Structure formats: C-alpha cells, structure tokens
Chains A and B, each alone.
Chain A
Amino acid sequence: MTSPALVSSSRLADLPPAVAASVWRGDDLAVPTGAVVSSGWAALDAELPGGGWPCGSLTEVLSPQPSLLEWRLLGQALRQVTADGGNVVLVGPPKPPFLPGLQALGLQARQLIWVQTETPAQRLWVTEQLVQADTAGAVLAWLPQARAEPLRRLQSRLQGGRTLCIALRPEGARSESSPAGLRLLAQTGPDWTLRVQVLKRRGPLHDQTLVLPSVPSSLEAVLSRRTRLPSRCLALPDGARHAVVRPVSAEPLRH
C-alpha cells in the first residue's frame, strides 16, 4: 500500500510542468508566480515564499504603533525598487516623511510621492487606484482601519500585477482575518534589532521570531561600538538620576 504523499507526488509528476509548478502543497513554501524583491536579510528571505517581498500580491506588516520601523524593515527592498526605476508612493503615512533621512536609504526625491488622505475610505480608494495602474513600483499604504472586504478587493486587483504593495497595519489587526498573501508582525528589539514573526504565508506555519540586525541607515556612520549595543553600556540603574544631562556615549562623536 502506498502512502497518500507518494500518490500525490506521483500524480504531480504526471501533470504538465507548467501546471505542476503552480500546484502548491501546504507543507512546503510556495513559489510565487510574480517577481519578488529581496528584503535584504538572508534570514528573512529564507522564510518568505520565493525569497523576498512578493509583487502582485498584498503583503501586510503589523506593528505595535505607526511610524516605528517601516523604513528600517522595508528600506532595502525599496532601494531595490527605485534602483530598477520604480516609484515609491506613500498613502497616508502617519507623519510627514523626511527626505534627508530617506536619501540615506537610497531613495531619490523624484521617485517619492506622498498622497495625503483624510478618511479610511480615501486611503483605500487611493491605494486601489494606484494598484490598478499596475506600474513597476512600490505602494506603501497605512491602513489602520480596513475591513476584510476592501482588502480582498485590493488583493484581487493586485493579483498577477507588478506592483509591490505593502499595507501597514496596527498589531490589533492580528486577530482579524486577512486576505493578504503574506502577513508579518514586526517589533523593535533591543540593540538596533527588529523582531519579525511571519503570521501567514503560503507555506508551513512559522512559529519562531526572527531577530534581524537593523541600524537606521543615517545612523550607520555615526554609531560607535558602544552605542551599537546600548542595552549593554547604557543600562541605567532605575534609581540613578543625573543632575546634568550629559552624553551617554563617552566617546567623542565621529564625523
């Protein structure tokens, strides 16, 4: 008697190669049909189907609060997108983006567009319009309040397209169902790290937390060895209070 797994794999071999490639079995990582953009960390890429952020599929990034780690997590991928000539469109960011800091990430002024929106319905409408244009670029949409249906519409509009669309949502949305193909929870960790959990992907369940080193790129040049590990050097005893504020880094600033 043959095991079910063997039966299914032999049947898979009978299929034409193009069909077999699009069959995804739940116990291994899917191969996305569209392009992917590397996230910049080998450890994270290894956990994402296809080895990067998928284009032509909705990706949700949940974080405890807005404007906490967006550029640190996505910067490498966006640099890649703009290097290939794509534009980065921001829909309703929580605070105005600051260009000098984004330039340190490798983004150029002429490739950055900020769409200011007021209501959740406007954000969704704008995102949908951008996604529908299907340009080879990135759309970053802050969607703190969005129900599943509009997101599903977004996902179906994206399907088979070239746009890298990332929805940035609060951690509270974790318990809601989501039509996104990929869902991550990202938090900040001590000593310039990001802690990333893959909540949903086309692949086996991922139950570990990835710890990714990530120094904001404009700080890369100015951090010293000590300030790269602030938790070790700067742990202040709770009672200690300084009368005068002084630089906690004992080293002089390197320029």
Chain B
Amino acid sequence: MLWCALCLPNPCGTESLASAQHGLALWALQFTPRVTRLDEAVLMEVQASLRLFGGAVELAARVRADSPALGVVSVAWAPTALGALALARAERGEVGHACDCGGGGEVDTTPLAERLDALPFTVLTVTAPLADTLAQLGCRTLGDLRALPRGGLTRRFGPALVEALDQAYGLRSPAFSWVTLPQTFCARLDLMARVENAMALVFAAKRLLLQLQGWLVARNAGVTAFTLRWQHDGLRPQPGEEGDALVIRTAQPMRDMAHLSRLLAEQLARVQLAAPVETLILEVDSVCDYRPPTASLLPDAAEDRDALNRVLERLAARLGAQRVVRPVLREDARPEWAQQWVPVSAPMRARPVSATVRSEGLPQPTFLLPEPLRLAVRGNRPLYQGELQLLLGPHRVEGGWWHRVEVAGGAAESRQVARDYWVALSAHAGALWVFQTRVAGEDAAWFLHGVFA
C-alpha cells in the first residue's frame, strides 16, 4: 500500500474547505479511484497505479508539480493513510517542530515506525484534545506514546487513541468512504482578488482546468465543449451585468491542459470585461470517449495529424474559423462554384464528390481570382501587363440558368454564365486563364479569371 496525503491549509483562503477538498479530490481521482477526504486533507491510495504512471518517483514528481496550483501546502507519502497524514502535517510545520523525516513530497523508504516515532504526538487528530494531559504524562512524540502500556492507555483515554495509533503504524486497517466521481463537472473558484484584466483570468482558470483534467482522466473521456463563466463583484449590481460566459469547443476530444489553456487564452484575449471579476465557474458541456495517443517509438501519422489539428485549432481561435479552411469540390462547371472552402473544424464528408472526372483533359488553373478581372482590349487583343497571346481555346463553359440569387431590393439575379475560356501567355505574368463573354450593352469583353502558376 502506498498512501499520499495532500494537506490543505485550514482555513482555506476565500473558499470553504469543503469546496477546495472537492476540487482536489476530483483532480486526485485521475491517479486512482481510491480517494478519500480526512479532516483537512485528501488521501489517495496509489499502489495499484504506480506502473501506469511510471513508478513512485515519477508519480511523486507529477503530484509535486501540479498540486500547489490546487492549494495544497504539503504532500507526504507513507504505507498507511494516517501515517501519511501525520507526516504531511508534520511537514507543514504547524505542530511547531521542524521535521526532516519523510515529508517534502518525496517517497521515503525508511521504515514507517522510525519516521513516525520522531513526530510530535499532536499530528494525530485524536491526540490533539488530549495534548495537555499527555504532555503532563511526559510524552512529546508518538514514540513516547507508543512506549506506554496499551491497556493503561485504553482505560484512561478510551479505545480510539490506541486504535488511531495502530492505524497509523499499520497494525490495523481503517475503513474509508471513497469519493465517488460526479457525473457532471462544474467547478467554482472564488478569486483571491478582483480581476480586471481578461488575460489574468487564464491564470486563475488553470486551477479549474487541472480539476477538469483529473475528472476527464477518471472518466476516460475528452472534452469537446466547455463553458467558462465569470461573475462580476457584488458591488456593482447593474442589471444584465452579473457576468458573462465563454464557450470553447474543440475539434477532437481533448484533455491536454496546455492546449485547453492556450485556446482559452486566445478567446479571452478578445474579451473586454464589463466589471472586475469575482468568481469563475467552469462547466463541461459535452464529452466524448478519449483514445489516448499510442506510445510508439516511431513517428506516427496519426500523431502528426493530431499535432496539426491542434495547431489549426489555435489558428482558428485567433483568426476566426472562417479563415482556416479546406476545399470541397462541387459538381458545377462554372469555376466559381466548382469549389467551396469550408472551415477545417467542420466534419469532413466521408465520400468526396467525384467531380474530378469532369475537369479531366481541360485546362484548369492553380489560382483563381475571387472575381473575374475585366481586361482592357487593344486591337481585339486583351491586355494584362502587356499584350496577351492566346494559345489554346476556346473552351466553352455555359450553365447556371437554374442558379438565381436574391440581390438587394428583393429582385432575383441569374448567375448564368456563357464564357469562352482561353489559355493565354503573357510576357510578364506567365500563363493566364482568360475568358471572353458578352456583357450587357456591349459586344464582348475579356476577363482574367485564373493563373497557371
């Protein structure tokens, strides 16, 4: 058995001890299902999970790195629950006795009895009310207490004291009520100080995201949408300004904290706070099953794709989803409607349109102007950076009589085209795709529409 005790300060800043413990327990559930609350601490039993997290040393390093953000003030590891708690309390130094035996968040292999014997007896919860009497008996440490006859101790102080001592030293195993995983996630954080800058909320939200990560790992899920709400301080009770919210969506189920907090930062960068913020609330809107990345030695195509998706998501968060796009082919002969750009985050159609056959054998440019550009004409020849040489053509593109769009004023305008496309050469601009068409009131006009770059 390997227990880890995570001690919270009591009283616990602005938030109540219960809510801090709840958040910490959520985070701890990612390591093991055996998590329990005891007094002011959260205890977890991790023996069965050691291999998954790369051994006791790795796990201790990870706990030490993440736990301060959740408000934990001391961490200790021991083979029994009460032993770990006693060591954690001793390390916190509240008992007024500097301790160099077993705390510090490291896993210590010294026998537990040796480490506990040296601790002051006040580290156990049951002994705290008896402190005066025990001190008058000449006890200072747990070792002194243990040296007293058990029968006498039981008669004088009741069975609870001896039982707690046995539990701490591993002679008897206590029963715990384990923390169960909630079905939904909603975490709340009262900020230490009023926050006036939206970007500063990113740092405050880190604690909530850590809890979210623990909850997701424990549920074996990844988040696809979550909401960050903030409430303004109560000093400004203006109607409609109690707070605001931000919904973050991800393309793939995600539990990587660094990525989630970067997405949050990109979105918060655009937020203007109406008033100082007092409270943050993180809610999960939807989750999906999460497939963790395969640990492979060789570079993996799927891993590459995930890395690219993550960076594209970040780009879309800053630039807007409409600006990170991929093409989709449409069945249309008119080049403007032959392709459509859709956001990368939109789901891909399983079966792509088989429009490739249509364009085969016909010249197709590689760049298309967003709008055809009217060309000047000299002596019946179109001009674009000099006179154009018409090389190949004409290729007739005609259609779209069925395509009518509403324009301003309620009238419908036809998008019918009747064009003769040519491949033209320009001395400076390379190979161009131009077309000739009739325009209202004139004979014919030339337009530049694409480039064979």
Report A77-116 CB contacts with B as 1/0, cut-off 8 Å.
Answer: 0000000011101000111111111111100011011111
Q: How far is the CA of A104 from the CA of B366 in the complex (A)?
A: 9
Contacts of A162 in B (CB 8 A): 299
B391, CB-defined interface residue at 8 Å:
yes
* Residues of chain A from 121 to 151 with CB closer than 8 A to chain B in the complex: 122, 125-126, 129-130, 132-137
B372 on the A face (CB < 8 A): no
CA distance A122 to B394 in the complex (A): 41
Interface size class of A (residues with CB under 8 A): 35 or more
Q: What is the bound-complex CA distance between A223 and B392, given in angstroms? A: 8
Closest to B420 in A: A245
Instruction: Assess whether A65 is in contact with B429, with CB atoms less than 8 Å apart.
Output: yes
Q: Which of A115, A117, A133 contacts B307 (CB 8 A)?
A: A133
Minimal Cβ-Cβ distance residue in B for A219: B363
Q: A102 and B429: CB pair below 8 A? A: no
Contact A110 B348 (CB under 8 A): yes
Which residues 236-263 of B have a CB within 8 angstroms of A? none
Contact flags (1/0) for B326-351 with A, using CB distance below 8 Å? Answer: 11110000010011010010001000
Interface residues of B in 380-405 (CB under 8 A from A): 380-381, 389-395
B33 within 8 A of A: no
Contact check, B428 vs A98: say whether CB atoms are below 8 A apart: no
Partner of A67, one of B326, B363, B364, B451: B451
Min CB gap B383→A, angstroms? 13
B326 pairs with A112, CB closer than 8 A:
yes
Determine if A244 is an interface residue (Cβ-Cβ < 8 Å): yes
A133 touches B365 (CB 8 A): no
Q: Which of B339, B361, B365, B436 contacts A222 (CB 8 A)?
A: B361
Query: What A residues does B379 contact at CB under 8 A?
Result: 241-242
Tell whether, in the assembled complex, residue A114 and residue B453 are in contact, meaning their CB atoms are under 8 Å apart: no
- Residue A221 at the chain B interface, CB threshold 8 Å: yes
Dominant SS among interface residues on chain B: mixed
Is the CB of A64 closer than 8 A to any CB of chain B? yes
Q: Judge whether B453 and A69 touch: CB under 8 Å.
A: yes
Q: Is the CB of B319 within 8 A of A117?
A: yes
- Say whether B326 contacts A247, CB under 8 Å: no
Contact partners of A86 in chain B: CB under 8 A:
304
B 421-453 binary contact with A (CB < 8 Å = 1; else 0): 001010011110000100000000000001111
Q: Which residues of A contact B339 (CB under 8 A)?
A: 98-100
- CB within 8 Å for A136 and B430 given contacts A95-B370, A100-B359: no
> Does A216 sit at the interface, judged by CB under 8 A?
yes
Partner of B363, one of A103, A222, A243: A222
Q: Does B301 make an interface contact (CB < 8 A)?
A: yes
Which one of B122-130, B136-144, B214-222, B308-316 is at the interface? Answer: B308-316
Could you tell me the distance in whole angstroms from the C-beta of B135 to the nearest C-beta in chain A?
61
Q: State whether the Cβ of B275 lies closer than 8 Å to any Cβ in chain A.
A: no
Establish whether residues A245 and B361, one from each chain, have CB atoms under 8 Å apart when the complex forms: no
Pull 11 A–B residue pairs with CB atoms less than 8 Å apart, ordered by A: A93-B367, A94-B367, A109-B326, A114-B341, A115-B315, A136-B301, A219-B431, A242-B380, A245-B390, A253-B392, A253-B393
Which residues of A does B touch, CB under 8 Å? Answer: 64-65, 67-72, 85-87, 89, 93-105, 109-110, 112-117, 122, 125-126, 129-130, 132-137, 162, 188, 216, 218-219, 221-223, 227, 230, 234, 236, 241-245, 247-249, 253, 255
Given A101-B364, A114-B341, A221-B361; 18 other pairs, CB 8 A cutoff: A68-B430, A95-B451, A97-B327, A97-B366, A100-B364, A110-B348, A110-B352, A113-B326, A117-B319, A129-B314, A133-B310, A218-B363, A219-B431, A227-B392, A230-B425, A253-B392, A253-B395, A255-B361
